[in-house]
Amino acid sequence: MKNVSKKLITPNNRYLKPTIKMFRTSMNLNKAATVSAALRRPTLIPKYIGVGRAFSTSPIAMSTTKKVLMVLYEGGKHAKEQKKLLGCIENELGIREYIESKGYQLVSTTDKDPEPTSKVDKELKDAEIVITTPFYPAYITRSRIANAPNLKLAVTAGVGSDHVDLAAANEKKVTVAEVTGSNVVSVAEHVMTTILVLVRNYNGGHRQAVNGEWDIAGVAKNEYDLEDKVVSTVGAGRIGYRVLERLLAFNPKKLLYYDYQELPPAAIKKLNDTNKLLNGRGDIVQRVEKLEDMVSQSDIVTINCPLHEGSKGLFNKELISHMKDGAYLVNTARGAICVAEDVAEAVKSGKLAGYGGDVWNQQPAPKNHPWRSMDNKDHCGNAMTVHISGTSLDAQARYAQGVKDILESYFSKKFDYRPQDVIVMNGEYATRAYGQKK
């Protein structure tokens, strides 16, 4: 690839803390525009368009403005109450004025389904750039890409671009980029929260507290310490590694990881040295090459890998059968990595003591999704939330700025994207993270 550095995702940089620059952009608007200036640069009037929540800019003097399509969730009253809620349609990542200053029309909408009759389908047809989010994914399918001849760039506001058909994007030379590293801390913290909610039977205790009950034994019989447990991660990249780091504070017995490549020696040394310092124990981290072997040893398994053809449906009934009876499974990666019905049945039967996470194989999840109602006989096996792990207000500020940086690289025609942000470019995969590049 001409425009992508060879230092894409190497063992030495893929787990390191991102250094996304944070700055604010202000625009000086000319309040006394002359008639001639107005003719040269048309006034842009926001207007409501179509079904669902959608906004556009309407050029008065020019109808050939290039288009950016942005698909975000609706913030409603929450957007008014919290201006830092940048990831919603009302606040548009805080970059509407920036996009318009580059001569582009911005159309933002929540109306993404069904294909092919949604507002996304209508507006994508002549869009040059589409901005989507993993938290309310607009699926940029092969057919949608085929019907968008002007499309050049697909940007994910966040991390995880599996909602884009990457093979189709490659064939059409559409660049796909995301804001790598923008929410790794946020997700790692959510993983730790979910582990503790399950292992300490927080839900059982909380339920009694709000229901006016007081049955200590009913909670304590399913409550454990995280100390001296074997914890493993499927995927030891930027998020998985940070989970391993945070686990050390709880003095686990062993930390295992399953990944397509070894952690760098320096990363392994850091974990082992920290364990010795904090817990007075020897080497703690170990790579396991066979997934069945790893899950069979683990008290807690956490999934921190991307969704691709090799990981879709990975945790099914067969793999779960290799897990310890009463183990816990945490998934903040992608819902489709697990077979929903198989997980729900494992929780109900007690094979899994609990399952938790924030990602669903359908988003928004239907009301009858099995993960909404799954539980065990003691009602302490479900630690699901909506998809929020990577969209804290801090993370939103980072990925909003990251989207702006990606757009600036495109608008300037430099195409000097951060290498770690590029998923596909110039018809080639830029990373093995999605399972394609060898």
Residues 173 and 209 occupy one common structural domain: no
Q: Which domain holds residue 291?
A: 184-384
Question: In the predicted model, is pLDDT for residue 64 greater than 90?
Answer: no
Residues 238 and 374 occupy one common structural domain: yes
Residues 46 and 79 occupy one common structural domain: yes
- pLDDT interval class at 189 (50, 70, 90): very high
Question: In this predicted model, which residue has the larger pLDDT, 5 or 359?
Answer: 359
Q: Which of 384, 399, 414 is the last residue of a domain?
A: 384
Number of domains in the chain: 2
- pLDDT interval class at 44 (50, 70, 90): very low
Residues 84 and 218 occupy one common structural domain: no
Mean pLDDT of 231-235: 99
- pLDDT interval class at 37 (50, 70, 90): very low
> Does a structural domain hold residue 13?
no
Residues 214 and 317 occupy one common structural domain: yes
Q: Which of 18-32, 96-110, 160-174 has the lowest mean pLDDT?
A: 18-32
Query: Catalytic positions, please?
Result: 183, 334, 363, 387
> Does a structural domain hold residue 103?
yes
Question: In the predicted model, is pLDDT for residue 26 greater than 50?
Answer: no
Residues 161 and 201 occupy one common structural domain: no
Q: Is 358 annotated as a binding residue?
A: yes
Residues 342 and 271 occupy one common structural domain: yes
Q: Is 309 annotated as a binding residue?
A: yes
Q: Is 390 annotated as a binding residue?
A: yes
> Does a structural domain hold residue 113?
yes
Q: Is 238 annotated as a binding residue?
A: yes
Tens digits of residue pLDDT in 71-84: 999 999 999 999 99
Q: Which of 366, 384, 402 is the last residue of a domain?
A: 384
3-state secondary structure the chain: CCCCCCCCCCCCCCCCCCCCCCCCCCCCCCCCCCHHHHHHCCCEEEEECCCCCEEEEEECCCCCCEEEEEECECCCHHHHHCCCCCCECCCHHHCHHHHHHCCEEEEEECCCCCCCCCHHHHHHCCCCEEEECCCCCCCECHHHHHCCCCCCEEEECCCCCCCECHHHHHHCCCEEEECCCCCHHHHHHHHHHHHHHHHCCHHHHHHHHHCCCCCHHHHHCCCCCCCCCEEEEECCCHHHHHHHHHHHHHCCCEEEEECCCCCCHHHHHHHHHHHHHHHCCCCCEEECCCHHHHHHHCCEEEECCCCCCCCCCCECHHHHCCCCCCEEEEECCCHHHECHHHHHHHHHHCCEEEEEECCCCCCCCCCCCHHHHCCCCCCCCEEECCCCCCCCHHHHHHHHHHHHHHHHHHHCCCCCCCHHHEEEECCEECCHHHCCCC
Mean pLDDT of 90-96: 98
> Does a structural domain hold residue 292?
yes
Tens digits of residue pLDDT in 330-361: 999 999 999 999 999 999 999 999 999 999 99
CATH number of the domain bearing residue 92 = 3.40.50.720
Residues 252 and 353 occupy one common structural domain: yes
Question: In the predicted model, is pLDDT for residue 10 greater than 50?
Answer: no
Residues 198 and 147 occupy one common structural domain: no
> Does a structural domain hold residue 135?
yes
Residues 202 and 175 occupy one common structural domain: no
Tens digits of residue pLDDT in 282-328: 999 999 999 999 999 999 999 999 999 899 999 999 999 999 999 99
Residues 317 and 226 occupy one common structural domain: yes
> Does a structural domain hold residue 19?
no
Q: Is 310 annotated as a binding residue?
A: yes
Q: Is 212 annotated as a binding residue?
A: no
- pLDDT interval class at 436 (50, 70, 90): low
